[in-house]
Amino acid sequence: MSSPYPNGDREKVASKLPSALQQQLKIRCAELGLDIQDAVTTAVNDWRASSRPAPDIDTAGARSFSTWLPTGLYDQFKESCGERGVSYTQGLAQSVRVWLDANPSPRSDARGDEPARIVVCNQKGGVGKTAVSAGIAQAYAEAGKRVLLVDYDPQGHLSEQLGVPQIEPDHDSLVAHMRGESDGDLRELVTVIEEERFEKRLHLLPSCFDGFLLDSSLGILSAQKRGFQKEAALEMALRPIEPEYDVIILDCPPSLGIAMDAGLYYGRRRRGEAAGHSGVLIPVLAEDSSATAYTMLSQQIEDLCEDLRMEIDYLGLVVNLYDSRRGYVATSSLEQWKSIGDPPVLAVISDLKEQREAVRMRRPLLAYAPHSDQAEAMRQIAKGAGR
């Protein structure tokens, strides 16, 4: 609803907006010396003019929100909402979210105020995605960062290795939140890894068995629910808890499906975010089949970027389980990985016993063997990926 401004050039608009967005909008406008009505005017105009798909915002519990907009703009905004198949509340939330992303806080450093989102991926199994995900998460937590480690693989190896049970079917889970089927708080599913070395800074969101059906369920929802963007499902589920972390690391399944698209979308460079702050980290092996898998993954990334008009940064490669005793195939393959140059090889990790022992003991590597060569390699990767 709206009512006229005294001089007639604006009208008061009463709508709804999630309280978290209202607070961020108020703070950001104060930091930038802007009137809220001017910021919302710009936000709505930019949202209407953009042809890029905006991620859905969780508007459950949205509170009353009012501001002054130029006369006629709210009617135009409502028309755009109808054309895009979203509610007025959803359209306004998307507008404000995009504006906040495009106008970062001046108090933020060069990285922006978003958590770093590192997507550890390769559709080839057995390349050490889980070991690398866990290792760099531990390295960041050891260095003082607040870290969320997301077990996005329904096989649940990461959860199992850290001694955390998988979530049973038909229980609240990350997958349920991605499908919009949960009224719960995602925070309640997060487990703190109780190791003194990390001082409660390392958290795990466990895997769930329902993840095996994620590709099909996201595809069905995309076909049945107007305005549902399957690629944004993971981001919408994790967005509410992002402010609590400095780094979020995604241990992906060996897949090239819809769930992988959602994982890659989550790691894209957001508006206003510095290059190299977030992106993909790719563990590989020194063998020919790993090179083929890398080519397929790269093509999926490039296709997704072209389709959704976005950018995904390659943070680096990790040559894992390297053993020069395997001869020419291993040594020549390693040189080929290094010759790529961009993305760079951040570390070469040998196949040593400490990682296997840590897995058997259900303990983090950097707590079990903090001075091992593998632990040092994880710190090196974290430093390189965090450029």
Write out pLDDT tens, residues 103-152.
Answer: 876 655 444 468 999 999 998 888 899 999 999 999 999 999 999 999 99
> 353 versus 137: which is more confidently predicted?
137
Cβ–Cβ under 8 Å, residues 255 and 123: yes
Q: What is the pLDDT of residue 261?
A: 94
Q: What is the pLDDT of residues 19-75, one digit of tens each?
A: 888 888 988 898 888 999 999 999 999 999 987 767 778 888 788 999 999 999 999
Pick the CATH number of 116-385 from 3.40.50.300, 1.20.1050.10, 3.40.630.30, 3.30.70.20: 3.40.50.300
pLDDT score, position 94: 92
DSSP reduced 3-state for 349: strand
Minimum mean pLDDT range among 60-69, 127-136, 261-270, 366-375? 60-69
| Cα separation, 287 vs 266, whole angstroms | 29
Query: pLDDT above 90 covers what percent of the chain?
Result: 59
Least confident of 11-15, 311-315, 350-354: 350-354
Q: What is the dihedral of CA 218, 268, 284, 289, to 10 degrees?
A: 60
Single out the residue of 244, 119, 116, 247 nearest to residue 187, CA to CA. 244
Residue 78 has pLDDT above 60, yes or no: yes
Q: What is the DSSP letter of 54?
A: P
CA torsion 157-162-163-169 (nearest 10°) is -40
Whether 95 and 44 have beta carbons less than 8 Å apart is answered as yes
Average pLDDT over residues 341-359: 89
| Band of pLDDT at residue 1, cut at 50, 70 and 90 | very low
Residue 258 has pLDDT above 70, yes or no: yes
Of 153-157, 209-213, 367-371, least confident by mean pLDDT is: 209-213
pLDDT band at 7; cut points 50, 70, 90: low
More confident call, 2 vs 31: 31
C-alpha–C-alpha distance, residues 153 and 187, integer Å:
19
pLDDT-derived band at 4 (thresholds 50, 70, 90) equals low
